């Protein structure tokens, strides 16, 4: 069972956002919009939609963002990368998103075009990194700009100091919030936050929470992006490979316990990686003692 200290996780001061990715098929589209419908009553602070390296999902991302803004009351942020694009191409994308109502961007460098593990090469006519992209966005308009942060260091950063220096450059150029890579050891996050604050960075460093859909798949993904998987997770999920209901219950407990512990450490904002599935996110929020609101598709809470 999740630790019985739910009062700290209740109330208006706990805020959360959800992340979606654009669907690649009709079935995935149906799943995404069912997830949006399911999560809508939980009144997130905002939702974000990812964007592929080199703009590989630009059209699906734009379509998804357009529909979210047109058909729901959700404050919607569009991810934006600068991989494989000139500055002019990035600016055209920004204007496309602005035209459908986007006022919040999650500005990222993006993965190398060849995929994680390949060498990143800046486009000769483009933005070299996320800090430059933030500066470009700030020149284009008064946008809300979120960026990424890495409690266990970006895998391409030579060391922790260089990693935090890049975050500071993003903040100095106009970022107002950082969303972290997922992690499962809250001590790692707390030590990272101490280093960030010591560097003079004062924006919210919002923990990225990943409810575990499949531990084996998560381990493979984590190995590519530099995130560690603590041994206690193997212990919690031991013997549950063929018990999907029990496995889902444990996953929701683990995520809720992590959030509860972070709340006790003074954190009030969380970014939940939904993976376009609603069940685990809802179970996690319910374990925290939270309740959904009655909301219409394009209205406010009833």
Q: What is the end-to-end Cα distance of the chain in Å, rounded?
A: 32
Tokens coding 209: 């929470």
Read off the DSSP letter of residue 154: -
- With 0-12 / 13-18 / 19 or more C-beta atoms within 10 angstroms meaning exposed / middle / buried, residue 78 is buried
Q: Which of 94, 17, 3 is nearest to 51 (CA)?
A: 94
Q: Determine whether 19 is an active site residue.
A: yes
**Alpha carbon separation from 117 to 35, 76, 289 (Å, rounded):** 31, 30, 40
Rounded CA separation 97/201 (Å):
29
**Alpha carbon separation from 271 to 25, 178, 208 (Å, rounded):** 25, 10, 5
Q: Which of 74, 5, 80, 3 is nearest to 33 (CA)?
A: 74
Query: Of 8, 12, 19, 121, which is the active-site residue?
Result: 19
Q: Kindly list the catalytic residues.
A: 19
């Amino acid at each position: 069972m999740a630790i019985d200290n739910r009062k700290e996780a209740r109330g208006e001061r706990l805020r959360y956002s959800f992340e979606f990715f654009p669907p690649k098929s009709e079935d995935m589209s149906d799943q995404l919009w069912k997830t949006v419908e399911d999560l809508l009553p939980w009144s997130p602070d905002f939702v974000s939609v990812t964007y592929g390296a080199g703009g590989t999902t630009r059209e699906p991302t734009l379509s998804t963002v357009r529909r979210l803004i047109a058909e729901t009351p959700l404050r919607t942020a569009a991810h934006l990368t600068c991989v494989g694009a000139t500055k002019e191409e990035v600016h055209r994308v920004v204007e496309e998103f602005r035209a459908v109502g986007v006022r919040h961007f999650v500005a990222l460098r993006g993965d190398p075009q060849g995929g994680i593990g390949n060498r990143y090469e800046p486009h000769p006519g483009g933005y070299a990194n996320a800090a430059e992209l933030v500066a470009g966005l700030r020149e284009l308009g008064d946008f809300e700009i979120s960026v990424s942060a890495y409690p266990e260091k970006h895998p391409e950063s030579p060391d922790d100091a260089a990693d935090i220096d890049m975050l500071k450059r993003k903040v100095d150029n106009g970022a107002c919030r950082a969303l972290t890579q997922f992690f499962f050891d809250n001590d790692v996050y707390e030590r990272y936050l101490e280093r960030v604050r010591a560097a003079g960075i004062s924006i919210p460093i919002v923990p990225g929470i990943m409810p575990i859909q499949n531990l084996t798949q998560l381990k493979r993904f984590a190995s590519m992006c530099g995130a560690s998987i603590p041994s206690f997770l193997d212990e919690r999920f031991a013997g549950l490979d063929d018990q999907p209901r029990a496995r889902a219950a444990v996953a929701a407990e683990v995520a809720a316990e992590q959030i509860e512990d972070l709340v006790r450490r003074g954190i009030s904002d969380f970014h939940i990686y939904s993976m376009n599935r609603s069940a685990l996110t809802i179970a996690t929020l319910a374990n925290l003692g939270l309740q959904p609101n009655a909301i219409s598709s394009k209205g406010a809470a009833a």
